Structure 1
Amino acid sequence: MSDSTAPPQPFQQAVASLRAVRPRPELLVSSVNAPPRLAPYTWAFSVEADADHAAGDELGDLEPDTSGRLILLHDPAGQDAWEGTFRLVCFVQARLEPEQLGDEMLPVVGWSWLTEALEGAGAEYAALGGTVTQTSSVRFGDIAGQRRDDDVELRASWTPRGTDLQPHGEAFCALVASAAGLPPIGATSLTRRSG
Structure 2
Amino acid sequence: MGNPRTYTDDQLRNAVKGATCWADVMEAIGKSRTAGRTSVQAVAARLGLDVSHLTHGSNPRRLVAPAHPFSQPAQHGGRSGLSIAARWFMDRGYNVSVPLEPGAYDLIAESDTGLQRVQVKTTGTTESNGRYRAVLRRTVYDASARDTARGRIRVTGYTEDEIDFFFISTAGALDYLIPVEAVSGAQYIVLDSKYAAFAIEARNHMPG
TM-score by length of 2: 0.25
Higher percent of residues as strand? 1
- Pick the structure with greater CA Rg: 2
